[in-house]
Amino acid sequence: MKKNSFYLSSNNKLSDVIKSDLSLELSELHDFINQSPLGLIRANKWGKIIMLNAFGSQIITPIAIVLKQSPTNILDIIGAIEPELKEQIVTYKENHGTICDNRVLSVNHVGTHTLYISFTIKKIAVNTFLYAFLDYTETHNSEQEVKELNEQSALDAGRLEMATGILHDIGNVVMAFGTEVSKLRNMQKWTEIKEIQKLIALIEAKKYAIDSSIGDRKAEALLSFLSAMTKSLEQKKILLNTAVDKLYNTTSHVQEILNIQRHYVAGKESGKRTEVKLENLINDSFSIQQKSLTKRNILFVKDIDNSIPTIQVDKTKLIQVFINLLRNAIEAFDEVVDDRKRIIKVMATYLEDDRIIQLIFIDNAIGFDSQIGHVLFERGNTSKVTGTGFGLNNCKEIIESHHGSITIESQGKQLGAKVIILFYLSKLKNEHL
Amino acid sequence: MGTQIICFSDTDLGSFLRASSSEALDELDFGVIGMDRQGVVCEFNRYELKLASLKRENVIGKNFFIQIAPCTNNNLIAGKYLQSAQKTDVILDYIFTYRIKPTSVRLRIIIDLNEKKQFLLVQQQ
């Protein structure tokens, strides 16, 4: 049969052709609605489902079964999820109109997870309602993740702002303190000693005159007294100068640390990727930990390959990792009781063929059981007596956010530890490569 | 088969169905869909063709859950069928959407991992 043709053969009646075409169109329409990627239900005012497409059944039938409701009555199903919406539908007075538009209902799917279904419900005739719906769970969960990330970012920004404020306040106090220490240092002329020495010279020159006027050997006694006073003052001078120098150096170091920290939090840079030289970050980490290294008599050795290219990183985050790793290595010496030579070595090499930067922190401190290396990065796990187990976990998260990897190993107790960080430059945005 | 009457809820129906020809399956008064483990149709008996207003040549070789009955493409039916890791013979009530008319059906999923052909049976309620 030739469809839609104006000329019909004598055997075909016009009505048969129209009937056939309508039947085909109806079949296509059914398929079109049935395969639509949106749940569609046509129901009467009591909720009885008159029409239902495939996607609709795919979503609504399991929900009805879980909620122990009839899968052929949409009002019962909605009533079991949100009774207010059922009431809204039942009491809707108009003959036509939208009852709700993209209203998200949550269904606790027994034994698995919560489903979020977005419903649009319209009254399309006196006794006819159209329900259009789709599974909104994935979108809802993505939106939740974005919301949580935004909240976390806001929290980080708040912390950063607070940290900046604290650093600023501490900086001001330390600056004032440093000024006083500098003044004190400049005051250490000890002119009194020079004056006494002049007096000693004078007494020596007038020794006989003094003896004859105030008594025999009195000048000698006076000289002895003044020499003892000079010696005492000289000792005090050395002690005080040493103390003031130490105070001055410590204040300078605190100021240096504050300057580094200010640099890292300046402009709320956390999260921002900037081009940095890894060596600079390592130097800054060392400066911050320098006092602790000196206090524990630990030799810090650095071996950085000059060919390492600059990389795009979040330097605020990355320095946290380096400081943390250095601190761990330093504190690992607290449990060492023998008199071994204490060394922390940081090595960085560039594996050019694979475009990988390999960074190794190695120490000869207490180490740990060789079996537990892989679990130390899990939140809450630590090998330290006073550790919380959050530091290494944070390090791992930060390194992985830079598409890198981090591993820690030890040959066993007393045998030191080695942390290996790999940065894959092919995965890091790097304009110089 | 002689005069043997086969019912939807008969025990050990899987063995019978696997041993039956397409013509024999056409004689049954419930729907029989034979598929591989991925849901690709190899049998679709006359009862189910009629119920779904489909032609055999339009269903053989197609994925049942995606191309023929997307209303079953959820954890309850497709999930149960595709993720079954053991011999399964389960009956459950469901709503099919033949020609967008909600139709209450009883489904029976018969899976034997040692066999190539698995079955989904349909009985109109």
Considering only residues 49 to 68 of chain A, which have any Cβ-Cβ distance to chain B shorter than 8 Å?
49-62, 65
Higher pLDDT, A169 or A228: A228
* Interface residue B74 vs chain A (CB under 8 A): yes
List of chain A residues whose C-beta atoms are within 8 Å of the C-beta of residue B62: none
**CA–CA distance from A174 to each of A171, A208, A252, A264 (Å)?**
5, 56, 9, 19
**Of the candidates A152, A77, A85, A166, which has an alpha carbon nearest to the alpha carbon of residue A120?**
A85
Read off the pLDDT of each residue in A138-167 and give the average, rounded to a whole number: 85
Query: Looking at the partner chain, which of A34, A55, A72 has a beta carbon nearest the beta carbon of B104?
Result: A72
Provide the token pair at A197.
Answer: 């020495």
Q: How far apart are CA B1 and CA A122, in angstroms?
A: 54
Residue A430 scores a pLDDT above 50: no
Q: What pLDDT is attached to residue A383?
A: 55
Q: How far apart are CA A100 and CA A89, in angstroms?
A: 9
Q: What is the pLDDT of residues A1-35, one digit of tens each?
A: 334 444 444 455 666 766 666 666 787 888 888 88
Read off the pLDDT of each residue in A166-186 and give the average, rounded to a whole number: 83
Residues 6+ apart with CB under 8 A from A3: A17, A20, A21
Q: What pLDDT is attached to residue A157?
A: 79
User: Hey, are the CB atoms on B70 and A51 less than 8 Å from each other?
Assistant: no
- Map out the domains of chain B with their CATH numbers: 31-124 (3.30.450.20)
Give A381's pLDDT tier (boundaries 50, 70, 90). Answer: low
Higher pLDDT, A60 or A263: A60
Calculate the average pLDDT of chain A.
85
Residue A387 scores a pLDDT above 80: no
Read off the pLDDT of each residue in B38-64 and give the average, rounded to a whole number: 94
Interface test with A, best of B97, B122, B125 (most A CBs within 10 A): B97
Residue A147 scores a pLDDT above 70: yes
User: Hey, are the CB atoms on A33 and B93 less than 8 Å from each other?
Assistant: no
Q: Percentage of residues in chain A with pLDDT exceeding 90?
A: 43
A:B CB pairs within 8 Å: 64
Higher pLDDT, B47 or A393: B47
Phi/psi of residue A18, nearest 5 degrees? -60, -40
- Which residues in B13-100 belong to E strands, given as ranges? 31-35, 41-44, 88-98
**Beta carbons of A311 and A273 less than 8 angstroms apart:** no
Q: What pLDDT is attached to residue A272?
A: 72
Residue A331 scores a pLDDT above 70: yes
Read off the pLDDT of each residue in A343-356 and give the average, rounded to a whole number: 91
Q: What is the pLDDT of residues A269-306, one digit of tens each?
A: 556 788 889 998 899 888 888 888 988 999 999 999 98
Residue A388 scores a pLDDT above 50: no
Q: What pLDDT is attached to residue A188?
A: 66
Q: What pLDDT is attached to residue B56?
A: 93
Q: How far apart are CA A254 and CA A288, in angstroms?
A: 8
* Interface residue B61 vs chain A (CB under 8 A): no
Considering only residues 94 to 113 of chain A, which have any Cβ-Cβ distance to chain B shorter than 8 Å?
112
* Interface residue B95 vs chain A (CB under 8 A): yes
Q: What pLDDT is attached to residue A382?
A: 59
A137/chain B closest Cα distance in angstroms: 14
> Which ipTM did the prediction report?
0.84
Residue A207 scores a pLDDT above 50: yes
Q: What pLDDT is attached to residue A112?
A: 66
- In terms of DSSP bridges, do strands B101-111 and B118-124 run parallel, antiparallel, or are they unpaired? antiparallel
DSSP A3-60: TT-SS--TT--HHHHHHHHHHHHHHHHHHHHHT-SSEEEEEETT-BEEEE-HHHHHHH
Provide the whole-model pTM.
Answer: 0.54
β-bridge partners, A66: none
